[in-house]
Chains A and B, each alone.
Chain A
């Protein structure tokens, strides 16, 4: 089955840029989605189709996807961005097609 690999944690100072990676075999050929989850809350979609933002998501959130790595970039990080972030794809290549999530990355704002 398809595997997505994320770093367990990323730390960044306020005002700096955070980059969270999501690795997968030829992930550049898939559409990648990113979710933000704060404690006690449901996940919220922040980037879809590699680099598009849902309405209401700040422009500070952006995404890219190429080769074997997709990246969520958060510019001018704020304290309120501290959360867990998950990447997601649809895997149609295996015997059991389905949604696949990365293991999640905890973003800490120092």
Chain B
């Protein structure tokens, strides 16, 4: 069974940094691309970033490009999101997700990030 457990969320001031982690189990981690997706409380889903299974290729939403960095450590079955220059509008529940058929997603439970102004 696929398990994805996010951690690292918390409260940070505007302009600050935070690093999210996602521990994966139940599948061969380096065979799959991984994503971060966020959801503002009470609102919809916003895709944040994607990294290929080998870590070579990365993609970012325009709203976070240049501020966030996605990475992975396949030896530790772990995914990361380094978030710098955080803004109040980055406040959200951040989900780690495993990519499936045609870039469909299987989700973790999320970790909450709050950016105070």
Contacts and interface: CB of A to CB of B under 8 A. Distances in A.
- The dominant DSSP class at the A interface is strand
Given A42-B95, A48-B100, A86-B44, A98 B106 contact: no
Residue from A42, A49, A97 whose CB has the most chain B CB atoms within 10 Å? A42
B7 to A, nearest CB: 15
B106 A45 contact: yes
Nearest to A1: B62
Contacts, number: 66
Interface residues of A, number: 23
Interface string B73-117: 000000000000000000000010000111111111110000000
**Size bracket of the B interface:** 20 to 34
A33 to B, nearest CB: 4
Given A86-B45, A88-B45, A98-B50, 7 more contacts: A42-B108, A48-B101, A49-B102, A90-B103, A98-B59, A101-B44, A101-B46
